[in-house]
Structure 1
């Protein structure tokens, strides 16, 4: 039976499950929901519930019966991790998504938001990238396995809408950063990797620091607290089959980003670039007109967000993995 979607509000007292609530995005969504007055939030660590385990996932949904779900659980990583472990990124993410989406449908989840990634779009997509660029060209080879898994998630949400009439939606964030990020040398994305390396250079008194690539690729960065706000806004105000890009609509070069990080940590040494290392996609800027038409735009400036993230990292680095 089709559930009629009425924009304007989710019931703050209903059970709300955030899959991946300890991760960068999931933890920010939990903070946002708490601040917005949701009183029945549910999360499970991977030790408590392995979402790759289909039987365990179905048993969880049967017991908890959440009304709302955000699927933020995923195996994620940077260029190095994606290049070295494509099987893991494809297999783990496909299993997580299929299990959660199937169990959510079976047990009557009313409103679900699936989170993907801007890497779903073709490597050479026209900039800024519109939602209808999906499946129009070749993917970036360094993270194609992860991208294929996320594309499968979008299509499954669309299929659920067509076959069962459920008002589920998908959101595709740009590069995210902020408190709770992964700062490990092997698994981090570019911004937390730069923060860690530049902070360590300050501590060691290094006079120079070498970064990967040419520094010329352009990237868009969205603070994870902005992402969380966008997720709630979309769940309350958007209902459509197409994925929604979530970003700022502006980008910077990696070299400019490194300069912002250097300023934030107080690094005064020389910045060098190893051009033998891969750059990845030359530019990845999202067209956010659909998001803005839905009534939301980002608020946190990149310089302010980088400073905030550096402060969080320095307060928590002794407890961080790696």
Structure 2
């Protein structure tokens, strides 16, 4: 991959897209293209076609998606299904028609069955039923994976899908109505700390196990896929290590310095019991994560504190 190749990063204003842009720039890539949602509505097929005709990207990285946690998925199932399919279908189809040879599609570990054997291997895709709390998002992402596989098989193009585990990091979403578990905990513990170490209430039992990857490590995996022609269509991206939600809460509590109590609301859903990625395929090719959980949480918390007054998605 030449450093002057024109690379379009869809979703470059989101947490993952920002990180990919930053990492690519640090590695000397000079021809990066992005468009905010205000400039380009990816749900609009004609708008996407016009954008490709004007910009003529050589590579497309799809980091654009409508995302959210259990609450958001439950409240807006149609939007999570339809808008994600619109976004990815427009990008994938237009890239094919524009003769883009390299396309990197980013999905989520939720594409795998709820009770998939652990750790989850790529070949477990579509072998059983999905987790009901995010089935809409998962179905959309599965169609994206399969579309890229179909293009790879039919047209021989280097279209590859990377499935990250739970991502977190700088520029995360800390809105409690739509955020994922780790940034939501950071906000809750921080607010409780400044409020005289008040009690923190968390959803579920704390027993489910989850894996977390710092967003800059995900960006490095994207660059790895960019600079190498990966032999298969689907790869898991994660750490290969997990912990209970209770352990995560205690780790975040310690890093933030909150000294109050934690109360678990067992009336709220836990979601999938365990979601650990088998990352052996990427590992065998030569990629491995670099940032451990404690260091990643500390960096994320530092960013949260620095931006608490002016970052729009905090919605304080």
Question: What TM-score do the two structures reach when normalised by structure 1?
Answer: 0.96
- Whether 2:262 is the aligned partner of 1:271: answer yes
- Equivalences for 1:39-58 in 2 at 5 Å? 39-58=30-49
Where 1:272 maps in the other structure, the secondary structure is strand
Q: CA RMSD in A?
A: 0.8
- Of the structure 1 ranges 214-223 and 256-265, higher mean CA displacement relative to structure 2 is found in 256-265
* Deviation of the 1:224 alpha carbon: 0.2
* Deviation of the 1:237 alpha carbon: 2.1
The unaligned stretches of length 5 or more in structure 2 are none
- Of the structure 1 ranges 157-166 and 87-96, higher mean CA displacement relative to structure 2 is found in 157-166
Residue-by-residue CA offset, 1:212-246 (whole Å, 9 max, x unaligned)? 00000000000000000011112222423431000
Residue-by-residue CA offset, 1:98-151 (whole Å, 9 max, x unaligned)? 100111111121211000000000000000000000000010000000000000
CA–CA distance in 1 between the matches of 2:114 and 2:310? 36
- Whether 2:124 is the aligned partner of 1:143: answer no
* Deviation of the 1:264 alpha carbon: 1.4
Where 1:127 maps in the other structure, the secondary structure is coil
Q: Alignment partner for residue 56 of structure 2, among 36, 60, 65?
A: 65
- Equivalences for 1:208-227 in 2 at 5 Å? 208-227=199-218
Alignment-derived partner of residue 111 in structure 2? 120
Alignment-derived partner of residue 96 in structure 2? 105
CA–CA distance in 2 between the matches of 1:290 and 1:69? 23
Where 1:317 maps in the other structure, the secondary structure is coil
Alignment-derived partner of residue 300 in structure 2? 309
* Deviation of the 1:185 alpha carbon: 1.1
Where 1:319 maps in the other structure, the secondary structure is coil
Question: What TM-score do the two structures reach when normalised by structure 2?
Answer: 0.98
- Equivalences for 1:192-203 in 2 at 5 Å? 192-203=183-194
Alignment-derived partner of residue 184 in structure 1? 175
CA–CA distance in 2 between the matches of 1:249 and 1:303? 16
CA–CA distance in 2 between the matches of 1:157 and 1:296? 22
For the 8 Å contact 1:70–1:112, the answer to whether it is kept is yes
CA–CA distance in 2 between the matches of 1:225 and 1:314? 19
The unaligned stretches of length 5 or more in structure 1 are 1-9
- Equivalences for 1:248-287 in 2 at 5 Å? 248-287=239-278
Alignment-derived partner of residue 85 in structure 1? 76
CA–CA distance in 2 between the matches of 1:269 and 1:101? 48
Aligned residues: 313
Alignment-derived partner of residue 289 in structure 1? 280
CA–CA distance in 2 between the matches of 1:173 and 1:64? 28
Where 1:168 maps in the other structure, the secondary structure is strand
* Deviation of the 1:263 alpha carbon: 1.1
| Distance change >3 Å, CA 201–CA 252, structure 1 → 2 | same
Where 1:262 maps in the other structure, the secondary structure is helix
